[in-house]
Structure 1
Amino acid sequence: MFALVANRLCRIPSPSVAVRLDARPFSDFTQQISFDIKKCELHGLVDGPPDSAVLTRDQGLRLFRQMQTIRFMQQKVQQLYTQKLVRGSCHHYTGQEACAVGIEAAIDKTDHLITSYRVNGYSFTRGVSVREILTEMTGRRGGVAKGRGGPMHMYAPYFYGGNAIVGAQVSLGAGIALACQYQSSDQISVAVYGDGAANQGQLFEVFNMAALWKLPCVFVCENNRYGKGTSVERASACTDFYKRGDFIPGIRADGMDVLCVREATKFAKDHCRSGKGPIILELQTYRFCGHFVNETSSYRSQAEVEQQQQNDPISRLRGQMLRTNMASAEDFQNIDNEILEEVEEAAEFAVSDPEPSLDDLCNCVYHNSPSLQVRGIHPWAKLQSVDKR
C-alpha cells in the first residue's frame, strides 16, 4: 500500500505485486549476453569506455534488486515523511538509482566513496541495511548513526557519508585520495556531487590540486539535466560538466543506464589506478521527484517528468533482460515481493525503536572521548533525559 501512496506523490508507476510462481529451470534462461550501450563523450582522452557491456543473468538480477530496493525504500520514506515520522530536510534519489548501483558495481568494497546529502542510495550500495537507513531517518537508536544523523548523515566502512554543505564532499574526497596516495595503496576515492554544486569555487581549487598531485580521485557529477537541450545550448550554458576540469580528462555517460554507468566507472577507476591522476565522470540523469520531499516542482512540467520516466533505469534493465530471455516476469515479481516485505519490516522497526536519550547525545563527538558538557540555558550543564513516567 505504501508504494501506491508514494507513487501518487512522485507520479511513478507502481510495480505489480504477484504471488510466487513456480520458477522455470535454470537452463531455460540466457546466462550471458552483450548489450550495446550509449557511446560516452570524451574530453582530453583518446580512448574511452567500451560501446558494449557484458551482463550475466546473476549480475542483472543483482543490479535490478539493488535499484528496486532503493526505489521502494524511497517510496516508503515519502510515506513516513508525509506522516511526520521523518523530520527535517529529506532528499529523494528516485530516478537516479543507476548512478549509485552502477558505480558500486565497478569499484571495490575497499575503495572510498563520499557523497552529498542525497545519501540514501549510496548508503545502501555501500552496505548499510534498509532497516538501519530507515531507522536513522526516523532518528532512532537502531539507525546506522544511532539516530544522530537523520536523513542526511549516514556512514559505513570506506563510506564517508552524506555532507550537507553543498560541494564540501568534493574537497574531502580529494583529501581521501591524497591519503590513498600517501599510503601507497591501490585504492581510489570517488567524490560524488550534483550539478547544483558544480559552480562551487572549492571544486575548481580541488581540481587544480588533484591534477598537480595526480590524486587517484574520480569526481562524479550527477547532472540532473538528462536530455536537456542541444550540445550547442549546453555548451553555451556551461553545462558540459565533464569538461570543467580543463586539464583533467572527462567522460560524459548515460546515467539512466546502469550498464553504461558501470563501464564508464570501470574506465575511470582504471585510469586513476594506473597513476594518471584524477578524472571527471559526468552522469546524465533525471530525478523524478523534486529537489526535496513534497517540493512543488514549478521549474519543470509534468509532461517533462512523464517523458523522462520513459528512461527509467529500472524498467530499462528489466526490459533488456526480458527481451533476451535472461529472466522471466515471475523472477522480477518475486524480487519485488521480497523487497516490499523487507522494506515493510524495516519501517515497522524504524517507527517503534526508541529514540536516543539526551544523556547520550554528546557522545561519539570525538574518538574515545568522554561525554561532553554542552552550554545551554544552564552554562555547561550535562544533558539528561527526563523520566516522564
Structure 2
Amino acid sequence: MLSRTLFLKTNFISSTLNDKGGILQTLSALQNLMNNYATEVTFETKPFKLHKLESGPSTTVTVTKKDAMKYIKHLLLIRRLETAAGNLYKEKVIRGFCHLYSGQVPLGAGVAFAAKYLGSDGVCFSLYGDGASNQGQVFEAFNISKLWDIPCVFVCENNGYGMGTSAERSSASTNYYSRGDYIPGIWVDGMDVLAVREAAEFAIKHCAEKGPIILEMVTYRYSGHSMSDPGTSYRTRDEIQVVRQTRDPITSFKERLTGSELLTNEEIKEIETDVKKVIDEAIKQAKSDKEIGLDELTADICYNFLEKNIRNVLPWNHLTHKRVGKTLNEN
C-alpha cells in the first residue's frame, strides 16, 4: 500500500512538471508527501503521581519511527513467547514448574551495591509484585539501599491481585510507590509503554545522582498467577475482558502508531508475521533438540565465575561452571 501510494504521487509530480506552474505544484506535492508520512511523533502519557519528588518524568513523549518499530516488535515477542511457554507447559513439554515471571528484591539491591562498590555507573532494576510488597525483606532492602544510597530502582508490578488476593484485602496502603517512606517514588501507568520508558529513564538518572527510587507500575495479568491458578476464582471473566478491550498495552500502542501515521497497518502486520516466525521456529527447534546434558545445569551462572567448584547434592561430588551462551555485552 505504501509503495503504491508513493508510485502514484511520483507520477503526479512528473506530470505536473510539464504543466504551467508545475514547479509550484511539485513543491506542494512534495510537502504533502512529507506531511503524510511522519518520522517522529509526540504523544501525551497519563500523569505520574510523585512521592518525595519535586518533579517527575515528562508526560510529553517523542517517538521516532525506528523506536516505534522496535517497541512494538519487543512487545509482540514477549507476549508470544510467554503464551508459547504457557502452552508448552500445559502440553508437558516444559517439565517441573513454569512461572512466567519471578523477582528477588534483596538480590537486586546487592547487584546495585556491587555497582557502587566497584565504582561503575551501573543501576539495577529490582522487580517484585504487589503481593511481595508486604514482605519484610522488601523493607530491609529499602532501608539498606537508602542508608547507603545504593543505585537501585525498585519496581513494584502492581497487577492488583498478587497470587490471588486483591491489593485492597492484602495491603493497608495500596500506594506502593510511597511505601518506601524515605525513598522517592513514582506511580506509573504500566500499560503504557511510553510512560514506562520515560519513568525508567528518569529513575536511572535519579539513581546515579541521589540513590534508590521506587516505581509502581500499575498493570494487569490476564492469566493466573501460575499454571495451577485458573485466574477466575477471585475475579470475573468480564473484568478480564474489559481490561483487554480498554487497557491492553499492545492494542493501545498499535492504535497510537497507526492513528498518528507513524506506522501503517501493513508495517505492523509485517512485524507480527516476523515475530510469529521467530517464535514458531524456536518452538520447533526446542521440541526437536535432544535433552541437554547434566553438565549444563551449572552453565552460565555468572559472567566471571571465581569459585573452582560448585556445591552438589553430595559434598564430595563437585560440579564445574561452564560457558554456553553469550553475555549481553558480547552481543
Question: TM-score, length-normalised on structure 1?
Answer: 0.66
Residues 1:194 and 2:132 are matched in the alignment: no
The residue that corresponds to 1:61 in the other structure is 69
Q: How far has the Cα of 1:356 moved from its partner?
A: 2.2
The residue that corresponds to 1:341 in the other structure is 277
The residue that corresponds to 2:40 in the other structure is 32
Give, in whole Å, the separation in 2 of the partners of 1:293 and 1:336.
Answer: 26
Given the superposition, is the C-alpha separation of residues 51 and 234 from structure 1 closer, same or farther in structure 2, using an over 3 Å criterion? farther
Contact 2:129 2:156 in 1 (8 A): yes
The residue that corresponds to 1:183 in the other structure is 118
Give, in whole Å, the separation in 2 of the partners of 1:66 and 1:234.
Answer: 34
Give, in whole Å, the separation in 1 of the partners of 2:240 and 2:261.
Answer: 30
Give, in whole Å, the separation in 2 of the partners of 1:179 and 1:83.
Answer: 41
Residues 1:279 and 2:208 are matched in the alignment: no
In structure 1, which of residues 60, 64, 77 is the aligned counterpart of residue 85 of structure 2?
77
Deviation digits for residues 295-344 of structure 1, max 9, x if unmatched? Answer: 21211110110111121100111000111111111111111111111111
Give the partner amino acid of 1:336.
E
In structure 2, which of residues 251, 254, 263 is the aligned counterpart of residue 315 of structure 1?
251
Q: Unaligned regions of 5+ residues in structure 2, if any?
A: 7-32, 162-167, 320-331
RMSD value over aligned CA atoms? Answer: 2.8
Give the partner amino acid of 1:205.
E
In structure 1, which of residues 359, 369, 376 is the aligned counterpart of residue 308 of structure 2?
369
Contact 1:234 1:240 in 2 (8 A): no
Deviation digits for residues 265-323 of structure 1, max 9, x if unmatched? Answer: 1111111112x111101000001111013521211110110111121100111000111
The residue that corresponds to 2:24 in the other structure is none
SS of corresponding position for 1:198: helix
Deviation digits for residues 96-149 of structure 1, max 9, x if unmatched? Answer: xxxxxxxxxxxxxxxxxxxxxx0xxxxxxxxxxxxxxxxxxxxxxxxxxxxxxx
Contact 1:23 1:331 in 2 (8 A): no
Question: TM-score, length-normalised on structure 2?
Answer: 0.77
Give the partner amino acid of 1:354.
K
Q: How far has the Cα of 1:214 moved from its partner?
A: 0.9
Greater shift after overlay, 217-226 or 284-293? 217-226
Give the alignment of 1:65-214 within 5 angstroms. Answer: 65-92=73-100, 118=101, 163=103, 169-214=104-149
Given the superposition, is the C-alpha separation of residues 359 and 237 from structure 1 closer, same or farther in structure 2, using an over 3 Å criterion? closer
Q: How far has the Cα of 1:357 moved from its partner?
A: 2.6
Given the superposition, is the C-alpha separation of residues 21 and 81 from structure 1 closer, same or farther in structure 2, using an over 3 Å criterion? farther
Structure 1 runs (4+) greater than 4 angstroms displaced: 20-28, 233-236, 359-368, 370-374, 379-383
Aligned residues: 281
The residue that corresponds to 1:356 in the other structure is 292
Q: How far has the Cα of 1:264 moved from its partner?
A: 1.0
Contact 1:37 1:53 in 2 (8 A): yes
Give the alignment of 1:215-254 within 5 angstroms. Answer: 215-225=150-160, 237-254=172-189
Give the partner amino acid of 2:220.
Y
Give the partner amino acid of 2:216.
E
Give the partner amino acid of 2:94.
V
Deviation digits for residues 40-63 of structure 1, max 9, x if unmatched? Answer: 001111111112111111111110
In structure 1, which of residues 44, 47, 59 is the aligned counterpart of residue 55 of structure 2?
47
Percent identity over the alignment is 41
Given the superposition, is the C-alpha separation of residues 355 and 43 from structure 1 closer, same or farther in structure 2, using an over 3 Å criterion? same
Give, in whole Å, the separation in 2 of the partners of 1:268 and 1:363.
Answer: 32
Given the superposition, is the C-alpha separation of residues 329 and 369 from structure 1 closer, same or farther in structure 2, using an over 3 Å criterion? same
Q: Unaligned regions of 5+ residues in structure 1, if any?
A: 1-19, 93-117, 119-161, 164-168, 227-232, 384-389
Contact 1:249 1:280 in 2 (8 A): yes
Contact 1:30 1:326 in 2 (8 A): yes
Give, in whole Å, the separation in 1 of the partners of 2:312 and 2:316.
Answer: 5
Give, in whole Å, the separation in 2 of the partners of 1:360 and 1:190.
Answer: 27
Given the superposition, is the C-alpha separation of residues 182 and 334 from structure 1 closer, same or farther in structure 2, using an over 3 Å criterion? same
The residue that corresponds to 1:264 in the other structure is 199
Deviation digits for residues 350-369 of structure 1, max 9, x if unmatched? Answer: 11112123466567777563
SS of corresponding position for 1:55: strand
Greater shift after overlay, 56-65 or 355-364? 355-364
